[in-house]
């Protein structure tokens, strides 16, 4: 018998294989986040940084559990042109959107919107919408991220100067096994 996480991965494969059916992906992530707990085997917190823990990776997507201690946050970043869905498994997460800087700009990034997502909520972002930053609110949190296609490199943006740096994306653990991080 398949675990709930394995069943979710199967559902996501079907949704992505059939043209990235966004509403089907959101529904699957919401249902899983509201009712399941088998994601706990992917928990790995670190005091210095949030962690990216690989659940599944294939040609259509990568699925990760991100663990956030209080006070941690992602840098402002893009998604290399891919769709990004973030389901909240535990706690609360704030997502802040920023406008892309004008070419050659050296001024501060413009914040355009901020929203808080509760457990079971699902956020969606694509580069055509905005850059974003995510962080836990009021304590630690755990989020489930689906990148429809996997992302190996993304751009990070400095808020005050709009400077851009490309970063190779790494995992802290893979498939629930600590110490297996990397690419």
| Per-residue pLDDT tens over the stretch 50-100 | 999 999 999 999 999 999 999 999 999 999 999 999 999 999 999 999 999
Domain residue spans of the chain? 4-175
pTM value?
Answer: 0.93
Q: Which fold has domain 4-175?
A: Jelly Rolls (2.60.120)
Query: What whole-number distance in Å separates Cα of residue 148 and Cα of residue 16?
Result: 7
pLDDT higher than 60, residue 180: no
94-129: per-residue pLDDT in tens?
Answer: 999 999 988 877 889 999 999 999 999 999 999 999
End-to-end CA separation in angstroms for the chain: 29
The mean pLDDT value of the chain amounts to 93
Query: What whole-number distance in Å separates Cα of residue 18 and Cα of residue 105?
Result: 39
Query: What whole-number distance in Å separates Cα of residue 153 and Cα of residue 151?
Result: 6
Query: What whole-number distance in Å separates Cα of residue 51 and Cα of residue 66?
Result: 5
For 148, residues 6+ apart whose C-beta sits below 8 A from its C-beta are 16, 20, 25, 60, 61, 82, 83, 84, 85
Give the CA distances from residue 74 to residues 16, 96, 118, 131, 174, in Å, rounded to whole numbers and listed in that order. Answer: 26, 10, 18, 11, 20
- Tokens 């962080």, located at residue: 135
Tell me which of 90-94, 103-107, 143-147, 154-158 is least confident.
103-107
The token pair at 36 is 């399941």
């Amino acid at each position: 018998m398949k675990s709930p996480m394995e069943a979710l991965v199967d559902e996501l494969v079907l949704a992505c294989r059939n043209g990235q059916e966004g509403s089907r992906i959101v529904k699957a992530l919401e249902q899983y986040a509201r009712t399941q707990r088998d994601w706990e085997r992917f928990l790995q917190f670190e005091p210095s940084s949030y962690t990216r823990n690989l659940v599944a990776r294939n040609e259509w997507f990568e699925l990760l559990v991100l663990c956030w201690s209080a006070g941690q946050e992602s840098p402002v970043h893009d998604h290399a042109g891919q769709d990004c869905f973030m389901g909240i498994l535990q706690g609360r997460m704030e997502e802040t959107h920023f406008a892309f800087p004008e070419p050659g700009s050296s001024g501060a990034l413009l914040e355009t919107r901020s929203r808080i997502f509760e457990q079971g909520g699902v956020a969606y972002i694509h580069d055509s919408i905005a850059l974003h930053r995510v962080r836990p609110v009021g304590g630690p949190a755990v989020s489930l991220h689906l990148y429809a296609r996997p992302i190996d490199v993304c751009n990070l943006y400095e808020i005050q100067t709009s400077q851009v740096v490309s970063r190779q994306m790494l995992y802290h653990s893979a498939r629930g096994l600590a110490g297996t991080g990397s690419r």
